[in-house]
Structures are given as C-alpha cells and as structure tokens.
Structure 1
Amino acid sequence: DKAAIAGLCRELGADLESLTGRSHALPVAVKVTSALTFLASGSFQTATRDTTGISQSAMSNCLAQFLEALQRRMHVALRAPSENEPAYRNAGNYHSMNMQVVCDAAGAITNVVAKFPGSCPNAAVLENSALARLLEGAR
C-alpha cells in the first residue's frame, strides 16, 4: 500500500538518492516501486519494463541498490556475547546475528533461521536451511 511504500522510501532514501547530481536520475520512489514490482512479479528485468517504464540496465541498477539498502538494515546490533565474541562481529564491525526470514506472497512467514552469528555469510545461512533443501529437491 501507499503508506508502506512511503515508509520504505523514507527508510531507504539516503541509500537510494542519486549522488551524481544528474538531472535525469531516478527518484527514490521510482527505484523502490520498480524493485518491488520486479520482486513481486518474479519475472525478468526486461519484462518489468512495460510496468515500470525504465530500461533493463536502470532496472538492474535500482534493484541492486534497493537490495543492498535492505541488506544493510538486516543486522540489528547486539551486546557483545561473552563466548565466541569474534564470530558475532559482522562486516559493519559491530555484533549481530545473521538471520533468514522468508514469507510468501500473502506475507505469511514460511521459513525462519535464527542461529548464526553476524560473521556468517548470507549464503551459508541459506545453505544450512530447510528452504535450501526444499529448493534442491525441486530441481
């Protein structure tokens, strides 16, 4: 809905605003809605051109910016644990856990993995989840 998109624009705006000062830079709202349209459709970037009106290369750039901005907000700072402290130090140099939460198109949570320290790569979290085993079985 409009309020959720406006909230995302406010939250991610600093990361998505163009720093080049070019007059034809895509506005934050266009980047957010284009990325959400692509993610919701599950289609190819070129197929979203009809809906978003932006080129495939612009779509690729705004999708990458959007996902990177989201990822930067996925780590929530924790107090340093007393055991195995270095494992919980993430790339941002603070302590966190790396978690995976997956939802379906209706927003219902279908998978949660909440056991890896912040230094654990995202790929390792996925590889060690029931979701990865389910996806491998579907091949």
Structure 2
Amino acid sequence: MYSLKVLAALRFYVTGCYQRPVGEQWGISMSQTSISRCIHRVTDAINNSMFTTKVKFPMTQLECQAANEIFASASSPFVAGTIGAIDCTHVSILAPKNNESNYVDHHGYHSMNVQMICDPNLKILNVNAKFPGARRVMPRSFETGNHNTFLIGDSGYPLEPWLMTPLPNEPEGTPKFRYNEALCKARNPIERLLGVPKGTWRCLSRQRVLLYDPGFADRVVNACATLITFAWAIKQPILTIGLFMIPKY
C-alpha cells in the first residue's frame, strides 16, 4: 500500500491533473479523498525527512572550488569566485482566502514567487517558495561562508558583498560593460534550471494551477525540487527511484 501511495503522489506531480483523474488511472484505482491524503502524506514526508539534507547551502569547500572553476571557464575572470547563481520563477496557485491581492503577480495571475540557487551543473542548492507572487524575493543574507566566493544574480537584486549583480548603464566597450557581459553569460545555469522543475513536474507549470493554500503549495515546490536534486545526485531517472528514496511515513 505504501508503494501505491508514493506512485499516486508522483503521478500528481508529473501530470498536474485533478485528484479524481489521478485516482482513476490504471494501476492506482483510488478515490479522490484517498489521492488527497497520499499527496499530503508523501509531500510532508519528503519535506520532513529529505528536503534539508538534499537541498542545502552553503556548499563544502571542495564543491565551492569545483563550481568556481566551471563558472570561471564558462565566462571570464570577471566572475572568478562565483559558486552559484540566484533567480526567481512564478508557480501558479489557487487564489488564497487571506491577503489575496498580495499573490497577484505582474502577469495578472495568482502565484508564489519561488527563488532558487543552483551550481553550474544545475544542481539545486536552495529553494524559497514562501513569498507571494506580487513580492520580489529579497534575501537579507545568503553568506557563502567564504569571503572569496559569492553568488551572481540579475539586476532585480541589490549589490551585496556576497552577491554580484550587473552594473546599470555602462558604455559599450568599457571594462564594466565587459563585466556585465561576463556576468550575464555566467548566469546561464540558473536561467536553464528554472524551466527544469516545471518541465519535469507539470503540477508547477503555468498551464496547471496548484489548488492548495500557499503553505502547502510551498511544500509541494520543496518536494519537487528535492526529488530532482536527489535523482541527479545518483544519476537515475526520478520515477524509477521514487519508491526507494521517499521515506515511509
């Protein structure tokens, strides 16, 4: 029965379908209420037992060195010391009952503004899905643990000792303009990563809507990010290892 619960939750993550059609699919055969319980229990199990151990930042010294070398080789010495890239994406949700206007993003729909950090190999290092769509995620501190390393972000973030961002309105051909070009090129991994969870787990895509309150929607995002990170770490397809990676609850 445990394996059937996990498969039901994974099926929901993958398709983003309503709960009743998930339960009616071949091999599952559950009621809508049973599917709902499966999704909640599996999602909570992943958040409580796996999320903080699989999606973690800062990195070890060896991981920092390896990431730094890849970022430097991919762009230029302007971004030497980079160990990660940071950016945000929107995940559509059901309009919440409280503070509804805070969740209407600039696209005009209700969403969570999800911030992610990744290394140059697209490994997810950090996820923050607690902010409503109308707000820009502005982390107060994300100290890397080493003053010689930092993150890189776009112009929506402020310049910080631990965060390098583009310099506005720099004349073409100047050293600062070349710095902007190198930084934008080095940010390529995070731009690519933001599409991976939505492409893998259709429940997070704009064409689907997470029909949950923001608190549980946050946990679904965390669960999806955890599954991707763990599958990449052991180089196995996500669905084939789902039954062995999710703890019993």
What is the TM-score with the length of structure 2 in the denominator?
0.25
Which structure is higher in RCO with an 8 Å CA cutoff and minimum separation 6? 2
Highest CA radius of gyration, 1 or 2?
2
Richer in helix (by share): 1
